[in-house]
Amino acid sequence: MHQIGLLLSQDDNTLEVMLLVEALKTANKLAGRSLYVWRELDPNRPEENWNVDTAVVFGKAGRPGISAQDPAAQLRKLSVTGRRVGSVGQGAFLLAQAGLFSGHKAAVPWDAADCFRELNPQIDIVDSCFIIDRKRFSCCGQLATADLAIRLIEQDHGQVLANQIADALCLDRVRASHEPQGNLRRAGYKSLHPKLAAAITVMEENLETPVSLDWLAQSIELSPRQLQRLFREHLEESPSTYYMRLRLKRARALVEGTDMQISEVAMACGFVSLSHFSRRYRMEFDRVPGRGRHNHPAGAPQPGAPRGAQPGQASAHDWL
């Protein structure tokens, strides 16, 4: 019997937990026996609670601002003893903090990738829904959790059972680990003018060291005037305005998602002057960078408070 431990976060991970647990329940039902048992891992009771074969870290369990007994040491112990350890969604931050992606590739949600790279430049991120890399696995979260769960079961008990689970859960197919995440923003580039899409790609690849308009135009074989016209025709703004918004959007992600100093965020987004960065940030988001940092939205579970959903809603714990 394979024991699985679930390390939940202060966030609402109901969907991901439900998808994983439903796959495990279905495996047990189809097999006619208990192939898997699962329980929540309690960081405050490591010795009696963490004797599992697989540990799954959900959500922002390891992100800055989440108060909890640091479970990184227990995850490292599991890894050293050959147990399977992995993450769903932004749980990858905790695995990285624990050093468990050393020599392994990681899949993280596309909208958290910038933060993850800034904090962990040594880790190879793949643009995939999930990846199973020996005894380490990671997943972008959301619906891809079902794909990951079935592929892990396939690894344990074969393709026949995995296909039966997919049928029982009414999945038309199970994605492979190499399939990219469904980033509609990037997919939308395909509908743009090819030169415009190429220009945006160059911008996104050069946020820390912004390139000049002349260099950008030359890199995609246009004149600066043609590039200006292309942006105004299709996006109704200038290339410089669009570029600035990309840099500021990345800055907000780093401010809200990491513990980087504001000066470090400014440099990571191509701002030499901190005052210039603060002024631009305030103009774009109507607040100075760092105000309310790591605060939890109204109604969200606070650190140290019981986790769960709002009254009348199911919580992740309801699926355990």
CA dihedral 151, 93, 76, 28 (to 10 degrees): -30
Q: What is the pLDDT of residue 12?
A: 59
CATH for 171: 3.40.50.880
Domain match, 122 and 204 both: no
Domain match, 13 and 125 both: yes
- pTM tops 0.75: no
One-letter amino acid of 27: A
Domain match, 189 and 251 both: yes
Domain match, 131 and 245 both: no
Domain match, 248 and 138 both: no
Domain match, 64 and 192 both: no
Domain match, 198 and 172 both: no
d(CA 111, CA 306): 27
Q: What is the pLDDT of residue 112?
A: 85
Domain match, 201 and 175 both: no
Domain match, 135 and 206 both: no
294 occurs within a structural domain: no
Q: Is the pLDDT of residue 44 over 80?
A: no
Tens-digit pLDDT profile for residues 128-162: 999 999 999 999 998 999 999 999 999 999 999 99
Domain match, 45 and 137 both: yes
Distance of CA 182 to the CA centre of its chain: 13
Higher pLDDT, 287 or 292: 287
Q: What is the pLDDT of residue 305?
A: 36
CB-based burial label for 98 (10 Å; 0-12, 13-18, 19+): buried
300 occurs within a structural domain: no
pLDDT-based confidence at residue 266 (cuts at 50, 70, 90)? very high
pLDDT-based confidence at residue 177 (cuts at 50, 70, 90)? confident
Identify the domain boundary among 124, 148, 182: 182
Q: Is the pLDDT of residue 315 over 80?
A: no
For residue 132, the surrounding DSSP H or E stretch is strand 130-133
Q: What is the pLDDT of residue 127?
A: 86
pLDDT-based confidence at residue 308 (cuts at 50, 70, 90)? very low
Identify the domain boundary among 148, 182, 216: 182
237 occurs within a structural domain: yes
Tens-digit pLDDT profile for residues 66-81: 444 578 888 999 999 9
Tens-digit pLDDT profile for residues 205-238: 899 999 999 999 999 999 999 999 999 998 899 9
216 occurs within a structural domain: yes
Domain match, 177 and 252 both: no
Report residue 18 as tokens: 């439900």
Q: What is the pLDDT of residue 68?
A: 45
Identify the domain boundary among 147, 182, 217: 182
Domain match, 17 and 166 both: yes
Tens-digit pLDDT profile for residues 107-127: 998 888 888 888 899 999 998
Q: How many domains does the chain have?
A: 2
Q: Which domain holds residue 211?
A: 184-285
CATH for 242: 1.10.10.60
